[in-house]
Structure 1
Amino acid sequence: MVELFTSQGCNSCPPADELFGELAGRDDLVALAYHVDYWDYLGWKDAFASPENTHRQQAYAEVFGGSVYTPQIVIDGSQHVVGSERANVETAVAAMLQQEALPVGVSISSTSTSLLIRIDESNPVPEGAHVVLVYFQPEQQVKIERGQNAGRVMDYRNIVTSYQTVGMWHGEAMTIEIPKNEMKKKGGRCAVLLQQVDDQGRPGDILGAAQLRGDL
């Protein structure tokens, strides 16, 4: 599971966005890009950014004991690297893939009327884990006209548009069914994360993840 925190207004981010595009195209990863809004003051408002994305990164920073920065890549909710440092990112991703799969099996599938999230039985974790449904746009090109990246035309991948907690998991096998007529209002595609959360609501280790192939 790879999460990129990026901004169209940050001149350090384009190399990370390009590298992330490669990761997003792989079948062995779930990769999501969260655009943050705290660089908008530099002269270009990132149309994909949201306070919710910034809040998620800030919560990670509290857990990791540092401050927010871009570009940042978080791997499996448990470690982070500078997203533009290709060698370090590739090393961290390769190390992740050499380990066993994420500890809890998660799948996501679609019928004509609903989305089905299935989570396997496994050892429970303290306080349970959140089932997080993430909506994203698979690809979009943007011409940046102002700010630090003025003149660039950028191709962005797996752009998170919103996310919500849709359930709690306590170790038992479970299925969550979500009506598709509500989801289509979001558009695009979706992924599901099974993630530990501490007593302050901050994100922790990702226990499982899956991505729906194809649009809603």
Structure 2
Amino acid sequence: MAPRLLACFGRRGGATASAPDEAEDQQQVAPGPVLVELFSSQGCAASPEADAVAARLAQDSGEGSVVVLGFHVDYWDYRGWKDPFASSAWTVRQKAYVEALSLDTLFTPQIVVQGRAHCVGTEQDALAQAVRDAPRYPAPAMKVTFQRPNPTTLQASFTGALRSRVEGAGGASVLVALYENGLVTDCGRGENKGKPLLNDHVVRRLEKVAAVREGASARKAVSGTVQFPLWDGFRATKCGLVLFVQNAALQVLGVQHFDLPDNV
């Protein structure tokens, strides 16, 4: 049987047209979303509150204003409860932010805004201020098509324009996260023992779409294909994709959100 081919177009600040006209000026394009990354763990007593804070921010910020991704780290797993969504790769990602932001140590819950500022995940006022202060860039103008080459793999192919100049030395990476909402876990041990834990925006996969050279124009067209291994119980209606451009200093230069087709 041939692979199924489906199409889905970006939203939340991401135009679905092809590359911008040559006369288009970057300052004339509406700013796209701010990326908020929450590093948390089901083994951390404060993380459920931070999850709720991030979920409210995503809900209350309005269409196209903020995109939230939740990265569950694994360094609390030894405390009696192994977070089912934790990954050592997300711990490595948080460590990279510790270095980039000149911090002293890892901690949860931590929120990183646009790769440039951070705060404790439960501090709503500090988070709101960080979002207001964050630089905002036009969302990439990418299109995506989906295929299922086999029942356990989702393939996504992207093409379009960056819409923001690549700032900073070392170029940038175009990354895409596959996240899942509405995850409920009955925590049986650890600091949250006995609590039903609700997690949204949980990053299940993170892949690199393309590399972009330093100084690349806002009109730079990029393309790439990634494959996401799927998990038991995958449901497209609970998931979405977030594509973002991140330079070598881990600063985010543009964010675009995609829904998944219901029948993917």
Amino acid of the structure 1 residue aligned with 2:79 = L
Tell me the percent identity.
Answer: 30
What's the CA shift string for 1:44-92, capped at 9, x where partnerless? 0000000000000011001122211000000000010000111211222
Partner of 1:69: 107
Q: Would you say 1:194 and 2:232 are equivalent positions? A: no
Q: Any conservation in 2 of the 1:2–1:29 contact (CA below 8 Å)?
A: yes
Q: Any conservation in 2 of the 1:108–1:115 contact (CA below 8 Å)?
A: no
Q: Paired residues, what number?
A: 205
Q: Which runs of 5+ in 1 are unaligned?
A: 199-203
Aligned residue runs from structure 1 range 51-200, under 5 A: 51-66=88-103, 67-96=105-134, 101-102=136-137, 104-111=138-145, 113=147, 114-125=156-167, 126-170=169-213, 171-172=216-217, 173-178=220-225, 182-183=227-228, 185=230, 188-198=239-249
What's the CA shift string for 1:84-143, capped at 9, x where partnerless? 1112112222333xx5x32x5414443354532423354343221011111111221111
Partner of 1:38: 75
Q: Which runs of 5+ in 2 are unaligned?
A: 1-34, 148-155
Q: Any conservation in 2 of the 1:24–1:158 contact (CA below 8 Å)?
A: no
TM-superposed CA distance for 1:18, in Å, is 0.5
Q: Any conservation in 2 of the 1:10–1:149 contact (CA below 8 Å)?
A: yes
Q: Point out 4+ residue stretches in structure 1 off by more than 6 angstroms.
A: none
Q: Any conservation in 2 of the 1:33–1:159 contact (CA below 8 Å)?
A: yes
Q: Secondary structure at the match of 1:9?
A: coil
Q: Any conservation in 1 of the 2:80–2:189 contact (CA below 8 Å)?
A: yes
TM-score using structure 1 length: 0.85
Q: Distance between the aligned counterparts of 1:117 and 1:153, measured in 2?
A: 40
Equivalent of residue 3 in structure 1, options 18, 34, 37: 37
- C-alpha root-mean-square deviation of aligned residues, in Å? 2.1
Q: Distance between the aligned counterparts of 1:148 and 1:107, measured in 2?
A: 43
Partner of 2:11: none
Q: Would you say 1:214 and 2:260 are equivalent positions? A: yes
CA distance 1:64–1:177, change in 2 (3 Å):
closer
CA distance 1:110–1:164, change in 2 (3 Å):
closer
Amino acid of the structure 2 residue aligned with 1:21 = A
Q: Distance between the aligned counterparts of 1:17 and 1:48, measured in 2?
A: 14
TM-score using structure 2 length: 0.71
Q: Distance between the aligned counterparts of 2:139 and 2:55, measured in 1?
A: 25
Q: Distance between the aligned counterparts of 1:117 and 1:83, measured in 2?
A: 34
Q: Any conservation in 1 of the 2:175–2:243 contact (CA below 8 Å)?
A: yes
Q: Distance between the aligned counterparts of 2:106 and 2:125, measured in 1?
A: 21
